Chain A
Amino acid sequence: HLKESGPGLVKPLETLSLTCSVSNGSISTDNHFWGWIRQPPGKELEWIGNIYSDGRPYYNPALKSRVTLSVDTSKNEFSLTLNSVTAADTAVYFCARRHMMPGSYDFLDQWGQGTLVTVSS
């Protein structure tokens, strides 16, 4: 239902850009945010941030200065840009749908299969 796309290789200090296409449903659903997660090789998963269909973002404070999330409801997709990348940004990047409803539990009920992005010259 979710599929990531974008370059698999980015040069140091350049910008990483990925898009997640949402199929089999509208991106403008209530109680769902759209997010990005990454996993560097051999390391734990890290939440990058999420965005609502109206464009409201929430960023991991650790990455906030370099991350921008956007959403295009006409294309049913959302995007991630990460500036000034270094080798430490090499990771598998996943997109996911976050279920968030007041008074209910918060979890990721749909994921993409992930895409490896390598930062190297």
Chain B
Amino acid sequence: IQMTQSPSSLSASIGDKVTVTCRASQSIGRDLSWYQHRPGTAPKLLIYGASTLKAGVPSRFNGSGSGTDFTLTISALRPEDSATYFCLQGYSNLLTFGGGTKLEIK
């Protein structure tokens, strides 16, 4: 299953809202998770099951979608949101990832 993520990069200001999308090459139900990765650190799980926020993740992060199209929305951007975000499909035993979106906070 191929995961196509867009955009590959974006720049936004503090307080803005941004949206990242992932599209699966076939239906994956809601078996989609989102991660935040800052360089040199361990990637962090944000959302699983397309929309379930992991405990402790701020409610500014929101996931939606099902089937083949999914979105991650980050509201009220903060400086610490600067990172790469990527999606992962868990529908297939062979996990596959989106290409990543590098978010720059201006």
Chain A residues proximal to chain B, CB less than 8 Å:
2, 35, 37, 44-47, 58, 60-61, 94, 96, 98-100, 105-114
Q: Shortest beta-carbon distance, A100 to chain B, in Å?
A: 8
Besides the known contacts A44-B97, A47-B97, A110-B42, 12 further A-B residue pairs in the complex with CB atoms under 8 A apart = A2-B42, A37-B97, A47-B95, A47-B96, A106-B90, A106-B95, A107-B48, A107-B49, A107-B88, A110-B45, A111-B44, A113-B40
Interface of B is mostly: loop
Q: How far is the CB of B18 from chain A (nearest CB, A)?
A: 21
B interface residues, Cβ below 8 angstroms from A: 30-31, 33, 35, 40-45, 48-49, 52, 54, 86, 88, 90-91, 93-100
A106 touches B45 (CB 8 A): no
